[in-house]
Amino acid sequence: MVKISNRKKRGRPVKIEPLKKTITKIWDNHPTWKDSEIRDELKVYLQKVVKKERPKWDVALINEEVDRRLPSTYSIGDFRRDILEPNGKEISKLDNRWHLGTLKDCPLTPEGIAKVFEIKCLFGRPPKRQKGAWGISLSIREAIWISRLSLIGFKNAGRQFQQLLDYVKDDDDIEPQKRLIPLRLWDFAADDDPTERERRRITVLIWDLAHDYADAERISELSGVPFDSYDMDEQIYELLGYPKPNRMGGTK
């Protein structure tokens, strides 16, 4: 006798729209991958998302929801050919290496220039960046974001600085010795001056945030999706000591 499942279907398959940025990140990291390989990686990502959203679901329910959200190989291929590859060929000048000569076309504030040089000379690459070595130059896009963020009066950076250290320490893709030691030495060198120590911690956070904003902006440009930093801005509100407003205009 055939057993008929009582489980109800949960609507139509989700379209590719909400996954464009994730697909773009996968393609950007693996530009030679076939559409089927991109889809396989997207499936792994969706499994993690659904497990987080529905921790009480069993494997069968999770897989069913993942299959519902997962775009077809053909949809991914169309998105790659029509959007990603054309946009990828038009490399933005903002992703070129920053130097003082770029100020003619991409001016920064005097305070921003000083902060860019401070970060560029001391670190050169944010701690979350997975490849490269210390001292690699910043992109124009990263320099612009450093300049923007340096104008914000951050405070109370201690907790977020420690969170960043913990993130670097626990991330298997980052070599701890190359990331933690320079950060800690630069931080602890200001032990006798709490004000200077706080300033240095804020500089590290500006550096890390600038990379995240620049990377998210670039992915948005590649994917053709408007750049929405609302969720990323939560860290800014926290550093300023303000409650984060919700999208309806109130506060959380």
Same domain, 50 and 111: no
Same domain, 55 and 115: no
Query: Residue 2: inside a domain, yes or no?
Result: no
Query: So what's the pLDDT on residue 94?
Result: 87
Query: So what's the pLDDT on residue 207?
Result: 84
Query: So what's the pLDDT on residue 16?
Result: 82
Query: So what's the pLDDT on residue 252?
Result: 55
b/e burial code for range 181-219 (CB count within 10 A of at least 16 → b): eebeebbeeeeeeeeebbebbbbbbbbbbbbbbbbbbbb
Tally the domains of the chain: 2
Tell me whether residue 52 is exposed, middle or buried, using C-beta atoms within 10 angstroms of its C-beta: 0 to 12, 13 to 18, 19 or more. Answer: exposed
Query: Residue 188: inside a domain, yes or no?
Result: yes
Same domain, 30 and 116: no
Query: Residue 9: inside a domain, yes or no?
Result: no
Same domain, 104 and 211: yes
pTM metric for this prediction: 0.72
Tokens of 114: 């000083």
Query: Residue 6: inside a domain, yes or no?
Result: no
Query: So what's the pLDDT on residue 112?
Result: 92
Same domain, 68 and 134: no
Query: Residue 203: inside a domain, yes or no?
Result: yes
Same domain, 144 and 228: yes
pLDDT in tens, the chain (252 residues): 434 344 444 444 557 888 999 999 999 889 899 999 999 999 999 999 999 999 999 999 999 999 999 999 999 999 999 888 888 777 678 888 899 999 999 999 999 999 898 887 766 444 455 444 445 578 999 999 999 988 887 776 666 666 666 655 555 554 444 454 455 555 555 556 767 777 777 787 888 888 889 999 999 988 988 998 888 888 788 777 777 677 655 555
Q: Could you tell me the residue range of the domain that residue 214 belongs to?
A: 93-240
Minimal CA–CA distance to 10: which of 68, 58, 53, 52? 68
In this structure, are residues 105 and 58 in contact, taking their beta carbons and an 8 Å threshold?
no
Domain end residue (candidates: 61, 89, 117): 89
Same domain, 201 and 135: yes
Cα–Cα distance list, 24 to 48, 131, 153, 243 (Å): 18, 19, 33, 32
Tokens of 119: 């970060």
Query: Residue 251: inside a domain, yes or no?
Result: no
CA–CA dist 211, 98 (Å, integer): 13
Q: How far is CA 174 from the centre of its chain?
A: 15
Domain end residue (candidates: 89, 123, 149): 89
Q: How far is CA 15 from the centre of its chain?
A: 23
Same domain, 230 and 192: yes
Spatial CB neighbours of 138, under 8 Å, sequence gap ≥ 6: 97, 98, 116, 119, 120, 124, 125, 146
Domain end residue (candidates: 55, 73, 89): 89
Cα–Cα distance list, 217 to 22, 26, 139, 190, 221 (Å): 13, 15, 13, 34, 6
Same domain, 68 and 43: yes
In this structure, are residues 154 and 206 in contact, taking their beta carbons and an 8 Å threshold?
yes
Same domain, 39 and 121: no
In this structure, are residues 79 and 23 in contact, taking their beta carbons and an 8 Å threshold?
yes
- What is the identity of the amino acid at 103? L
Same domain, 34 and 121: no
Same domain, 37 and 126: no
CA–CA dist 168, 181 (Å, integer): 11
Query: So what's the pLDDT on residue 91?
Result: 64
Spatial CB neighbours of 40, under 8 Å, sequence gap ≥ 6: none
